[in-house]
Amino acid sequence: MFDLGYTLQIVILGTVFLGAISGILGTFVVLRNQALIGDALSHATLPGIMIAYMLTGVRSLQVLLLGAFISALVAMFALNTIKKYTTIKFDASMALILSGFFGVGQVFLSQIQKTGGASQAGLSRFILGQAATMLRRDVYFIVIVALVVLLLLIVFWKELKLYIFDENFYKASGLSERFISGLLTMMVTFIIVIGIRLVGVILMSALIIAPPVAARQLSNRFYLNVGIAGFIGAVSGMTGTYLSATRANLPTGPVIALVLGGVVLLALLASPRNGIVKRYVQIRIFRSRIKRYRKLIHLYENPGEVNLDSKEYTYFINHDYVKVEDGALRVTSKGMKRIRSIKAVD
């Protein structure tokens, strides 16, 4: 057993809950093809944090997170307005919001740092996160928000699932698109706001995107994707927090992001469904079989040819893949099965 200090235990508890709910909620976001929304909203929280500090002069976590939440909502309103009233594509809009809000936040941060006030110390840590400064009440706040979001996902499971996989049928059923879309966006905003203290505004999107991407390589069933993504998020959060505190001597956010990147890479390489290694082996087998059975395939695809040397087909004749009929070579049913098995590898 690891001998973990009390502070580290508290922080690990927070990252486990944050990682789990981010992975679960991220599955809905990724399947909705809105993965970049998390990235845009997380970057958009920075000016809200700085403005909240400038208005209050205190570094209370609750006050700063309230500013982050309002800033994220403003960013989401701006995204929807651009989408509704302009011809700019949604991905371009997100890039504009991401860079614009983050730039404004950096300007405010620079201005605050020039004042030299003691209370402004630590504000820059919101960029990459600083889990070590988390208090027990902060972690409890994360746990409560995570449980509320999980409860909302359970209550609106059917509606969210239908909205993601068949939006037209969802609308035809008389259900409110605005409500379910707003609910999903609100939940993403909640998770981003509670997570920026731990992993920072830059890397928060990794917790939302990476677990469902890895889970998608392991299963194509929705409920399994949700469970696997939550598990990957929780384990990665715990592992990254432990390594950052005891080994890496780095902020928690970057280490968690590295762990998540490693998990995604491993899933892409070793996935039993469609992993890179499996595909490479399949291609090698396919090419080998094509080379070995190319004459048999040629005969199958050109059944009318009669000017064929039977000596070249001795192996296939001996194995009952080819037979001589009316002075011509023809593929047998056994040979056709072999050809179909070769094509199935492709």
pLDDT, tens digit, 9 for 90 and up, residues 81-100: 888 888 888 778 888 888 88
Residue 283's Cα: distance from chain center in Å?
27
CB atoms within 10 A of CB 320: 11
3-state secondary structure of 323: strand
- pLDDT bracket for residue 233 (50, 70, 90): very high
Q: Which residues contact 219 (CB under 8 A, 6 or more apart)?
A: 225, 228, 273
Which of 45-59, 111-125, 128-142 is least confident?
111-125
- Beta-carbon contacts of residue 326 (< 8 Å; ≥ 6 apart): none
- Reply yes or no on whether the pLDDT at 223 is more than 70: yes
Count of CA atoms in the C-beta half-sphere (13 A) of 187: 27
Mean pLDDT, residues 235-247 = 86
Residue 325, φ and ψ in degrees, nearest 5:
-140, 120
The half-sphere exposure of 119 on its side-chain side, counting CA atoms within 13 A, is 12
Per-residue pLDDT tens for 99-127?
888 888 888 888 887 776 545 556 666 76
**331: enclosing H helix or E strand:** strand 328-331
Q: Which residue has the higher pLDDT, 6 or 330?
A: 330
Q: What is the pTM of this model?
A: 0.79
CATH of domain 6-270: 1.10.3470.10
* Residue 211 confidence (pLDDT) above 90: yes
pLDDT in tens, 264-315: 999 999 888 778 888 888 888 878 877 888 888 877 887 766 566 666 677 7
Q: pLDDT by residue (tens digit) across 137-150?
A: 878 888 888 899 99
**Where in the chain are the domains?**
6-270, 276-345
Q: Is the pLDDT of residue 60 over 80?
A: no
How far is the CA of 85 from the CAs of 41, 56, 71, 186, in angstroms?
20, 35, 21, 22
In percent, the amount of the chain with pLDDT more than 70 equals: 89
